[in-house]
Chain A
Amino acid sequence: MAEKIFTWLDERLALETIYGAVLDRKVPKVNWWFTLGSASLFLFVMQGITGIFLTMYYVPDPQKAYDSIEYIMNGLAFGWLIRGIHHWGASLMVLVVFLHMLRTFFYGAYKYPREMTWITGVLLLLLTLGMGFTGYLLPWNQRAYWATTVGTAIAGSVPFVGDFILQVMRGGTDLSALTLTRFFSAHIWMLPAALAGLIGVHMYLIIRLGISHVPKEDE
């Protein structure tokens, strides 16, 4: 029965072909450093899932943000765990994505024909940092407030257009409720959408071009 259903679906969806192209594709003999990409993807999914569940209780408003997180941490079963995973997962994701980039760099895996994979990867790294930056403000505690004050002030030091950039980031001259809501919006909708789209392109390129082998001594 199960086999019949599978055959019916496979005939229409080409599941076997997708499986073959995605998971059974030929790869050179590689080492553990080559698992960092999969690890990044896993962390992205993990951050997505825990983040979705955090929005069930979090309120992006200066009056309520801190209290709502206090409630998640102390008033709710497993709230500490969900937020803990999201909090530590964020740092871990930046670390893993960065190591993934170093591996690509030192093995020269960014060269022809994989330049596009490298470029999308760089954008993915920047988006990951953007996620870290926007997420850092959301607890609305002293550390979050001042880190964002400093972070946006650094962006404001750009010649000529700095003031404009700073005001766009803050939603005005001061850090306010508008800053919190726009950081929240960027953190849960805009940046994740861009990340998901680019991850799709990045993975299409990996499947299409394959991964490079570990460079040999004479190369």
Chain B
Amino acid sequence: MAEKVKSPHMGRREFTKIVTAFLGTVMGAIVGIPIIGYVIDPALQSQESDDWISLGPLENYPIGIPTPFTFTQTKVNGWERTTLSYGTYVLRYSETENDLKVLSSRCTHLSCRVTWKEETESYDCPCHDAKFDIEGEVLYGPPPHPLDEYAHKVEEGVLFINPTPLEA
């Protein structure tokens, strides 16, 4: 170009550039935002369950001795149904209906199953030799926090738990 004439108005090239950038951004957002939603959606869907699970009559559980109870639950993940089995220990402190604790038998280290050992008065994990006391507190080994606890209620002498563990 021989000489550049300064115009107070926007040039055609500049206008085209701005419009192209704007439309490109809009189109990118129209496709990009749904794609982000599509990718992260399974992580956002609630995994919690509201169904209370019956652990049978309260009188089945002796006072002062952790007693195991296992149940299974079917979960739907996308197009797949998985039946998972859960293990719990029920510990009653007294005759009072709600004076009890339901612990998950899932070791908080790497999810192995812990077993109550009468001799040592502890829940022992077979994988890495972890030990928890009767309340689920860590006695020994690598677990980062105590055993998970389940919310519970007693209705007409029957014990129920909510299968989603309470936050430790």
- A residues whose Cβ falls under 8 Å from a Cβ of B: 46, 49, 53, 56-57, 59, 64, 67-68, 70-71, 75-79, 81-82, 85
Q: Does B34 sit at the interface, judged by CB under 8 A?
A: yes
B79→A70 contact, CB < 8 A: yes
- B residues whose Cβ falls under 8 Å from a Cβ of A: 31, 34-35, 37-39, 41-42, 44, 78-80
- Expressed in whole angstroms, the minimum distance between the Cβ of A123 and any Cβ of chain B is 28
- Across the two chains, which residue of chain B brings its CB closest to A52? B35
What residues of B have a CB within 8 angstroms of the CB of A70 in the complex? 79
B31→A67 contact, CB < 8 A: no
A68→B38 contact, CB < 8 A: no
The B interface is mostly helix, strand or loop, or mixed, namely helix
The A interface is mostly helix, strand or loop, or mixed, namely helix
Q: 5 other contacts beyond A71-B78, A75-B78, A85-B31, with CB at 8 A cut-off?
A: A64-B79, A67-B79, A70-B79, A78-B37, A81-B34
- Expressed in whole angstroms, the minimum distance between the Cβ of B46 and any Cβ of chain A is 13
CA distance A84 to B9 in the complex (A): 43
What residues of A have a CB within 8 angstroms of the CB of B34 in the complex? 77-78, 81-82
CA distance A137 to B51 in the complex (A): 40
CA distance A81 to B37 in the complex (A): 11
A71→B79 contact, CB < 8 A: yes
What residues of B have a CB within 8 angstroms of the CB of A77 in the complex? 34, 37-38, 41, 44
A82→B38 contact, CB < 8 A: yes
